[in-house]
Structure 1
Amino acid sequence: MSEAIDTAGSRARNTAPIDPEKSPGRVIAGRCSWRLDDREMPVRAARKLTAEMLRSWTVGGEAEDAALLIVSELVSNALRYASPPIELALTLIPGGAPGSREVLIEVMDADPRLPAKRSPGESGGFGLPLVESLAKISFTTCGSGKTVRALLITWDG
């Protein structure tokens, strides 16, 4: 059984998370994924791989900057608090409005514990609120792991 939890803490059992491969009417323009925990300097690798993929999809400027920040934060959290394997997946989806596209950023790990929101302070706690200010985020548990998703809307031009 999977459990989807949005950032407001609402729980929805057996609710399908954002999954562009299974969503009717959603066209995927591109998808790629990488295992990160076996790489040297995995956060740096994740940023490099993300930047290269976004450029190949002609996603740049503020959207690229936001995506790189989101990837850095989510991968850092997975490395710090979760268990391997840790994977990063990017999906480019044509958006609903003319000229818009969505970049779905997913970080999967083998720890079913959901990210905990903390009050920002000296020891951290700034990451999830920052990601939440840039994208719609959700968490899904399934079996012995979880997926953290961030959906970033971009505009052409």
Structure 2
Amino acid sequence: MENSLKQQARNVRTPGARRPLALTCTWERTVPDIAEARRAVTDLLRQAGRPPRRRVTEDACLIVSELVTNAVRHAPGPCSLTLNVSPDGRSLRITVRDSSPRLPEVQPRDPGRIGGHGLHLVRSLSVRFHATPRATGKDVSATVSLDDAGHG
């Protein structure tokens, strides 16, 4: 199956763990297949023990779509997506690394504006959202609760 996604997946297990805890997908400069990134989320959550509620999976997929799309739009080089399920299986950390040093800025709310609402969605669907500068760009991360209580 040939597409624009060069995927490097690895199942990381802690000693004694039965479920995969991490998956990394790396894209070259070509536009990534967002649908494939979303499938990576659903596949990992399915393998990581008890599957979360459908809404939680959909929220995680939406966050992945927004963060990867932002990286492709605003960064000049390759980007990577890393998904980490916490050892206790209660949360999923989604991290997108790109080559731009510019940290994301949440635009002021404007219902009349077309576009520019993605980070508002990410922040509202996650229990934690942050960006970390790196020597060669940045990491943008969001953590989703996998508990039945859902997000905050």
Question: Normalization by structure 1: what TM-score?
Answer: 0.71
Q: CA deviation at 1:83?
A: 2.5
Q: Which has the higher strand share?
A: 1
Superposed CA deviations along residues 35-88 of structure 1, whole A, max 9, x for unmatched, are 034566421221122221121124331210110010000001011111222000
Count of aligned residue pairs for this structure pair: 126
Contact 2:31 2:72 in 1 (8 A): no
Contact 1:105 1:150 in 2 (8 A): yes
Q: Percent identity?
A: 34
Contact 1:39 1:45 in 2 (8 A): no
Asked whether 1:110 is paired with 2:107, we answer: no
Counterpart selection for 1:148 from 126, 134, 140: 140
* Distance in 2 of aligned mates of 1:87 and 1:40: 12
Asked whether 1:86 is paired with 2:79, we answer: yes
Q: In the TM superposition, what are the counterparts of 1:1-157 in structure 2 within 5 Å?
A: 30-37=21-28, 41-57=32-48, 58-60=50-52, 61-94=54-87, 101-119=90-108, 120=110, 121-135=112-126, 136-155=128-147
Question: Normalization by structure 2: what TM-score?
Answer: 0.73
Instruction: State the SS of the aligned residue for 1:155.
Output: coil
Instruction: Rate the CA distance shift 1:45–1:39 in 2: closer, same or farther, 3 A.
Output: farther
Larger RCO (CA within 8 A; separation ≥ 6): 1
